[in-house]
Amino acid sequence: MKNGHIYAVQMCSGIQPEENFAQLSAFLRAQTLARPALVCLPESWLAFCETPQQTLAYAEHSQHWVTQLQQLCRELDIWLAAGTIAIKEGESRYYAASLLFNNEGVEVARYNKIHLFDADVADNAGQYRESTLTCAGENVVTVASPFGRLGMSVCYDIRFPGLYQSMREQGAEILLVPSAFTTVTGEAHWQPLLQARAIETQCYVVAAAQQGHHENGRQTYGHSLIVSPWGACLAEASEGVGIIHVRPELAELHAIRQKMPVAAHNRFKSDFYE
């Protein structure tokens, strides 16, 4: 059984939301997408800002961009997993929110990034402190769709397998991992982490990524990737802006699970994410 078509878009986003949205819209209109289609965007695709304060400023207008995305979904007849956009919380903080829209423009799910990237990395930025103004999410999110049951996550989450085990327990079949991995961590860990989560959960993993040298001074690894429930790399993006595609074989996924029922054998389930 094949359940629709899933596309992962690789981007090199700048600081200005208007420019990034215009580039995305033009890019998608130029594609020939099979329907039903789920288009997945990378983390921070709308605005890859230089400072948390810049991100907070654009978060003030998040509803405007939600409305634009809803219109785009209706116009192109696509489902859209919109990477992350900043949505203001309180007076001076925001969530890194991953929104899922259906082809009628209805917001069917929202996941707030749980694990925030506070780390020192040997690159031109040197230090990342995502928690400065970002609120950490608390809820595991899975949702039914024409493509299979989707589990929603973001970038740094990929290092925490318990989150993905919780999604599997909720019936997830396809894990979404919009990302903006640094070049240093990406070269070392990107592909093995994605393959590990796919193998452990026996799910497809769809990871749309940022790639290149950005206006904010960041360098991101790219290599957007789609991994099978057996851990095989089914599609990988080259450098620059691009798109990769898979049509999930859910019958094959469930055959893998039946032959090797690791979820039933798991004796170390955790309620941390419940």
pLDDT, mean over the chain: 96
> Six-digit token pair at 230?
């057996």
pLDDT the model gives residue 273: 67
Cα 64 to chain center, whole Å? 21
Set 12, 40, 113, 135: catalytic member:
113
Share of the chain above pLDDT 70, in %: 97
- 48 pLDDT more than 90: yes
Residue-wise pLDDT for 233-244, tens only, equals 999 999 999 999
- Per cent of the chain over pLDDT 90 is 94
Mean pLDDT of 178-188: 98
Closest CA to 153 of 181, 102, 111, 118: 111
Mean pLDDT across 11-38 = 98
pLDDT higher than threshold 80 for residue 96: yes
**SS3 state at 136:** coil
113 in catalytic set: yes
Nearest Cα residue to 163 out of 192, 140, 136? 140
Split at pLDDT 50, 70, 90, the class of 3 is confident
CB 102 within 8 Å of CB 79: yes
Give CA–CA dist 131/138, Å, rounded.
14
The pair of structure tokens assigned to 136 is 């950490």
Please indicate whether residue 73 is annotated as part of the active site: no
208 in Cβ contact with 224 (< 8 Å): yes
Question: What is the number of alpha carbons within 13 Å of residue 164 lying toward its C-beta?
Answer: 27
What is the mean predicted confidence (pLDDT) over 209-221? 96
| Residues whose CB falls within 8 Å of the CB of residue 171, separated by 6 or more in sequence, listed in order | 142, 149
SS (H, E, C) 40-83: ECCCCCCCCCCCHHHHHHHHCCHHHHHHHHHHHHHHHCCEEECC
Looking at 40, 73, 135, 155, which residue is catalytic?
155
Give the confidence band of 268 by pLDDT, cuts at 50, 70, 90. Answer: confident
Averaged pLDDT for residues 192-213: 98
User: Does the pLDDT of residue 204 top 90, yes or no?
Assistant: yes
Q: Is the pLDDT of residue 1 over 60?
A: no
**CA pair distance 193, 266, nearest whole angstrom:** 20
The band of 274, judged by pLDDT with boundaries at 50, 70 and 90, is: low
Per-residue DSSP letter, 137? P
Average pLDDT for residues 56-74, to the nearest whole number?
97
Residue-level pLDDT at 270 = 67
pLDDT confidence of residue 2: 66
**CA atoms of 250 and 199, how far apart (whole Å):** 15
Cis peptide before 36 (omega within 30 of 0): yes
pLDDT mean over 129-146: 97
* Confidence (pLDDT) at 158: 98
Task: Catalytic residue, from 43, 73, 88, 173: name it.
Answer: 43
Which pLDDT value is given to residue 129? 96
- Known catalytic residue at 155: yes
